[in-house]
């Protein structure tokens, strides 16, 4: 009998959520996503420390600053990942730029230039950007230049609607972090389709398909395989190696939960969100406000840890 992972792949584009490019091979995903937390975790492993040392040596000879070395490190991981997947890799911009549209655009352009120097087609790259108003506006500029974006740290329909209106290529609603917030706030657990994170993705997916937005929906940040199976049929799902392994080792069928046909049959109101309306809608959603801010802080903290690691190695 086929595994749940094999069955899921028939319905959804499976993406590996890791910076560990060695482990990606075992699950044969189409795409992969990274972020500062995943890269930090990877470079602390012995097999990846060599890659970091090589990047530092190369850039140190060019008198590069710490920030430049970090950028080269992110691109090096992306390059290695692209060697083992057929599709796209997402590379994340600095979370400290989350409220700086021009800064995000500049860093994204630098990432694409670094990839192109390695002979990598920009169509295989997604630039990850936090779903702030400034981040969404940066993505709008980049998409017009042919640089495709993955809007991350997305917790609300308001953020999703603004991304669709900006012509963003892909969004990553964070299922597990929504679940975490409601579990703590309500003092109860959730399973399957009753999970608030799952419900959020259903609402966003149905809205996009109902109104024919081409923006892709990629569920992310899962806490258990039940959340993943409850989103079967979503455009993409980015899944950690641990949960990919669980799905691979579990036999069984997977039932489609999302489809354009189901979305089209719903009665939905189309919403337009200019900046003031976006900011108010986000403000009115305490979960989305808190989790977006928390995510930005945590990714920024891990970026600083990566910089300190580089500084320590430069001082040796």
Q: How many CB atoms lie within 10 A of CB 17?
A: 25
Is residue 227 within 8 A of residue 240, CB to CB? The reply is no
Q: What is the rounded distance in angstroms from the CA atom of residue 60 to the CA atom of residue 37?
A: 24
The residue count for the chain:
316
Cα torsion 130, 131, 136, 139 to 10°: value is 40
Please indicate whether residue 183 is annotated as part of the active site. Answer: no
Is residue 32 within 8 A of residue 24, CB to CB? The reply is yes
Query: Is residue 218 within a helix (H) or strand (E), and if so which, with residue range?
Result: strand 216-219
Is residue 94 within 8 A of residue 302, CB to CB? The reply is no
Instruction: Say whether 185 sits in a helix, a strand or coil.
Output: helix
Q: Which of 9, 128, 169, 209 is catalytic?
A: 128
Q: Kindly list the catalytic residues.
A: 128
């Amino acid at each position: 009998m086929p595994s749940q992972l094999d069955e899921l792949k028939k319905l959804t584009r499976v993406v590996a959520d890791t910076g560990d490019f060695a482990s990606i091979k075992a699950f044969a995903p189409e795409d992969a996503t990274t972020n500062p937390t995943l890269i930090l975790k990877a470079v602390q492993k012995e097999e990846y420390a060599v890659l970091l040392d090589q990047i530092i040596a190369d850039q140190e000879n060019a008198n590069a600053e710490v920030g430049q070395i970090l950028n080269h490190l992110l691109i090096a991981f992306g390059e290695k990942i692209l060697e083992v997947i057929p599709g796209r890799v997402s590379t994340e911009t600095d979370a400290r730029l989350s409220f700086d549209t021009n800064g995000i655009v500049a860093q994204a352009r630098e990432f694409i230039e670094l990839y192109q120097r390695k002979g990598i087609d920009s169509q295989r790259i997604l630039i990850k950007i936090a779903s702030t108003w400034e981040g969404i506006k940066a993505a709008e500029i980049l998409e017009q230049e042919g640089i495709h974006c993955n809007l991350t740290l997305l917790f609300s329909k308001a953020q999703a609607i603004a991304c669709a209106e900006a012509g963003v290529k892909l969004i990553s609603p964070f299922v597990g972090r929504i679940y975490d917030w409601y579990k703590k706030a309500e003092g109860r657990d959730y399973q399957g389709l009753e999970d608030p994170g799952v419900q959020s993705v259903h609402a966003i997916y149905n809205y996009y398909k109902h109104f024919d937005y081409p923006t892709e929906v990629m569920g992310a940040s899962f806490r258990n395989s039940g959340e993943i199976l409850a989103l079967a049929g979503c455009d993409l799902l980015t899944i950690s190696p641990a949960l990919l392994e669980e799905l691979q080792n579990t036999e069984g069928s997977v039932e489609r939960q999302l489809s354009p046909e189901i979305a089209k049959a719903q009665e939905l109101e189309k919403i337009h969100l200019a900046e003031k309306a976006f900011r108010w809608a986000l403000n009115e959603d305490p979960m989305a406000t808190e989790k977006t801010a928390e995510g930005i802080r945590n990714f920024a903290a891990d970026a600083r840890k990566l910089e300190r690691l580089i500084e320590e190695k430069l001082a040796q």
